[in-house]
Amino acid sequence: MENPKILFGIKIKNLREGKGWTQENLAGRMDISTNYLSSIERGKENPTFDMLMKFSEGLDVEAWELFDFGHEVSPVELRRMLTGFAKDLDETKLRLAVKVLRAVTR
């Protein structure tokens, strides 16, 4: 598993960019410096609980969403996850999974 601070930073950046905001926009909403926000997004800072709540409010998301790293992992980790899922599938579910993956990759 990747470093949680890096995953958290990637998550913050993805949430911010998903809203079409610059670092300046989010930093202004949170009343923090863009340098501090940049450090968090790069996984260089360890935000406090109060700062986590500011992120939740500033990004207008539930606090738990800040820690949902399922899509923020590296391609290597995603491949590992897919392999793990495939091992646990019976034939019917495996065939369905292949159909879904084919549809997604077209």
Q: What's the whole-model pTM score? A: 0.67
The whole domain housing 45 covers: 4-67
- pLDDT for 83 equals 86
The type of residue at 16 is R
Do residues 31 and 83 both lie within one domain? Answer: no
- Distance (Å, whole) CA 22 – CA 17: 7
- Distance (Å, whole) CA 98 – CA 106: 12
Q: Which two tokens stand for residue 48?
A: 């406090």
Burial class (CB in 10 A: 0-12, 13-18, 19+), 84: exposed
Do residues 8 and 41 both lie within one domain? Answer: yes
For residue 48, the domain's CATH number is 1.10.260.40
Helix (H) or strand (E) holding 102: helix 91-105
Comparing CA positions, the residue from 77, 66, 84 lying closest to residue 1 is 77
The CB density around residue 64, as the number of other CB atoms within 10 Å, is 8
- Distance (Å, whole) CA 102 – CA 69: 24
- pLDDT for 80 equals 81
Do residues 49 and 17 both lie within one domain? Answer: yes
Do residues 9 and 36 both lie within one domain? Answer: yes
- pLDDT for 1 equals 53
pLDDT tens for the chain, 106 residues long, are: 578 898 899 999 999 999 999 999 999 999 999 999 999 999 999 999 999 999 999 999 999 999 987 766 667 777 887 888 888 889 999 899 889 989 988 8
Question: For the chain, what is the domain count?
Answer: 2
